[in-house]
Amino acid sequence: MARQVTPGNGKNMADDQNLLEINHLKMYFPITQGLFGRVIGYTKAVDDVSFTIRAGETLGLVGESGCGKTTVGRCIVRGYQPTDGEMLFRKADGAVVDLSMLQGEELRPYRKEIRMIFQDPYSSLNPRMSVFENVSEALHVNKMGTRAEMEERVGYLLRRVGLRPEYMKRYPHAFSGGERQRVVVARAMVTNPCLIVADEAVSALDVSIRAQILNLMEELQADFNLTYLFISHDLSVIRHICDRVIVMYVGKVVEVAEGLDIYINPQHPYTEALMSAVPIFNPRQRDRDRRIHLEGEVADPSNPPSGCYFHPRCRYAEDRCEHETPPLRQIDAERGHYVACHFAEKLELRGAVIE
């Protein structure tokens, strides 16, 4: 039986508005060597990550490639079995279940509630299956309706994402990248989920098509009361669509804040460097000296540095940073601003130019 977390046993969420609560999530991948696959170490892709997703919001998850943001998303949809930690999901009836404890058939009901949009619209659709088969596969697996009901549902969703219902008989090769991504969005919506994990959902698309897909996702969120975890490296996209933003670096959360606040008032040196790379469209605001170029390479998650993982590249680092890991702590209760930096209150960091 699935382990239910109910009010009164010490495992209920603190805030009724939270749809998902991640506590101390870890995902370690073993490093093997030799003929018999002896484990000689671990790649700490996600290392003690905690955050919440509120019902109805769009939460952004950003960071450089390899920071662990995609791994977090795949843990949430249970593409991976987490090494440790809790993933508390609130069901429609108010009961809370720890997704990390579920196995096999216990996961089936929650795979309908939590769906994923993948980055590449070309590889995420089976080329040997028609659009109807691609989109309705989850309905078939979960025995959600007859063939006629499935066709009706797929046709409705194709219309809703801007495609013609008769397209369901075609195969993926007949569509452009933008049209394929609309099919992928329809597939994610087919089971009427409450949470969608969008992993770089628009990064493979042209700029004009990207804007159309983002606007479509916002419309669907309003119409179907969806909650998004939006994973991206594109800070311009994150600013456009996200209510709150989480910044990750080498498997750890380094800052959490409201969307606009984190752009104009970053409190972590890594976030400041990211914001300095946001494109400035007003020529009068451009300053060649504004861009912060980080020295060195991103830390190796299989052999991270001691203390703060960012300290070898941080221009504000002191001896304490090398030996003591900074906890993620709240520095602004009113705005819900959290940061993992020893000297956050002392630093005067520059935000992005947003005009």
Of residues 64, 92, 13, the one with CA closest to residue 270: 64
Contacts of 192 (CB under 8 A, 6+ apart): 112, 224
Does residue 61 belong to any structural domain of this protein? yes
Domain-located, residue 85: yes
Which parts of the chain have pLDDT scores under 70? 1-15, 279-290, 353-355
Task: Give the strand order in the sheet containing 84-90.
Answer: 4-5, 96-98, 84-90, 18-33, 38-54
Please give the full DSSP string across 162-182, using - where no structure is assigned: T--GGGGGS-GGGS-HHHHHH
The verdict on residue 159 lying in a domain is no
Q: Can you say how many angstroms the Cα of residue 323 is from the centroid of all Cα atoms in its chain?
A: 30
pLDDT at 285 (0 to 100): 58
Burial of 63 (0-12, 13-18, 19+ CB in 10 A): buried
Q: Is residue 197 part of a domain?
A: yes
Range of the domain at 87: 4-30+44-124+193-339
In a domain, 8, yes or no: yes
pLDDT in tens, 268-286: 999 999 988 776 665 565 5
| Single-letter amino acid code for the residue at 181 | Q
- Please write the tens of the pLDDT for every residue from 208-259: 888 899 999 999 999 999 999 999 988 888 888 999 999 999 999 999 999 8
Predicted pLDDT at 35: 84
Let me know if residue 205 belongs to a domain: yes
pLDDT score at 121: 82
pLDDT value for 5: 41
**pLDDT computed for residue 169 by the predictor:** 94
Q: pLDDT of 115-124, one tens digit each? A: 999 888 888 8
Asked if the structure places residue 118 within a domain, the reply is yes
pLDDT at residue 1 in the model? 38
Give the CATH number for residue 93.
3.40.50.300
The reply to whether 156 falls in a domain is: no
Domains: count for the chain: 1
The sign of the dihedral angle between the CA atoms of 19, 145, 218, 275 is positive
